[in-house]
Amino acid sequence: MDQLELKYKETLAPSKQLIADMAQTQGDILILGVAGKMGPSLAILARQALDAAGLYDRKVIGVARFSTIKLKEMLESAGVITLRADLLNEADLASLPNAKNIIFMAGQKFGTTGKESFTWAMNSYLPGRIAEKYKESRIVVFSSGNIYPFTPICYGGACERVTPEPIGEYAQSCLGRERIFQYHSDKYQTPMLIYRLNYANDVSYGVLVEIAKSVIESRPIDLSMGNVNVIWQGDANEYALRSLLHCESPARLLNITGPETTSVRWLAEEFGRLFEKVPVFSGEEKTTALLNNAAESFELFGYPKLPLKLMIKLIAEWIIQQKPMLDKPTHFQEREGKF
């Protein structure tokens, strides 16, 4: 492992605050939909934090279809128990173990257009099945800032009190997910937290990577969504695990992102400076954007460990050294809700 990879690994390590919070939780942690972009690093972080707290007997269990054996083996080598299951299959769902702590990460976003019924099944039908099965647990439900309306740039983003106005079927189904979990939280007094995230970033994917790659490849950068919120994946994972201590009934709503309302143009120019390239732009900034105000999360957890400028530098180094990348675009520029 070279110096850059070591630097990256350090950004994903558990903090003292996370270790202390994990020591306060009870029971095993079951992560549903562990094979997505964030799931593997979240599962490994949970295992590391429990070990650091001396809780070696507590299990971290990751559930997914695991279409590739490599990911399954990687998680198991890190101490995460893996279970292969299709959550929409009733027999598979019934076979899953009980756990006191559930992190629900399963969902469908890209490919929604043309497969709308599957998206609704994953994002709105499945939550009801999960909420029934795990009504005695604490549940952190991954959701999206896409459920909010676009807000003027000067407003500082939508806070949790803003009424959802989802655009397009993906965002609508995300609100459906929330409503179904909220219904079951009310019905069974199940403690829950709805985790409204946008956008997580890593060295291999995210809004920052997409902008950086466009700059270095001299591809036009669409400015129609001229401002964004970003947070490092390591910080977002940590907040998700710490959220287990803040589940409530009725379900608590919590926005998760970084503290800045960040200009896409400025981001491109920062990468351009590091790459010694002049960014190419298309279109013009609108007066509104999909923005998320996460002040409440900062009151609970403090500000993210990794600031924006360090994210930019780390990603730039990663791209310059041609390290591995995920081909999973965010489509953050989308204003019509078609994914």
SS3 assignment for the chain: CCHHHHHHHHHCCCCHHHHHHHHHCCCCEEEECCCCCCHHHHHHHHHHHHHHCCCCCCCEEEEECCCCHHHHHHHHHCCCEEEECCCCCHHHHHHCCCCCEEEECCCCCCCCCCCHHHHHHHHHHHHHHHHHHCCCCEEEEEEEHHHCCCEEHHHCCECCCCCCCCCHHHHHHHHHHHHHHHHHHHHHCCCEEEEEECCEECCCCCHHHHHHHHHHCCCCEECCCCEECCEEHHHHHHHHHHHHHHCECCCEEEEECCCCCEEHHHHHHHHHHHHCCCCCEECCCCCEECCECCHHHHHHHCCCCCCHHHHHHHHHHHHHCCCCCCCCCCCCCCCCCCC
Residue 5 has pLDDT above 80, yes or no: yes
Give the mean pLDDT of 8-34. Answer: 97
Mean pLDDT of the chain, nearest integer: 96
In a domain, 155, yes or no: yes
In a domain, 24, yes or no: yes
Residue 112 has pLDDT above 90, yes or no: no
In a domain, 312, yes or no: no
Residue 188 has pLDDT above 90, yes or no: yes
Give the mean pLDDT of 17-38. Answer: 97
pLDDT 10s digits, 69-95: 999 999 999 999 999 999 999 999 999
What integer pLDDT is reported at residue 147 of this predicted model? 97
What integer pLDDT is reported at residue 336 of this predicted model? 86
What integer pLDDT is reported at residue 113 of this predicted model? 79
Residue 339 has pLDDT above 80, yes or no: no
Residue 337 has pLDDT above 90, yes or no: no
Residue 128 has pLDDT above 80, yes or no: yes
In a domain, 102, yes or no: yes
Domain total of the chain: 1
What integer pLDDT is reported at residue 216 of this predicted model? 97
In a domain, 60, yes or no: yes
What integer pLDDT is reported at residue 153 of this predicted model? 96
What integer pLDDT is reported at residue 115 of this predicted model? 86
In a domain, 263, yes or no: no
pTM listed for this prediction: 0.96
pLDDT 10s digits, 222-251: 999 999 999 999 999 999 999 999 999 999
In a domain, 18, yes or no: yes
What integer pLDDT is reported at residue 334 of this predicted model? 85
CATH code, domain with 59: 3.40.50.720
Give the mean pLDDT of 279-301. Answer: 97
In a domain, 13, yes or no: yes
Give the mean pLDDT of 177-192. Answer: 98
> Domain range spanning residue 190?
9-202+229-258
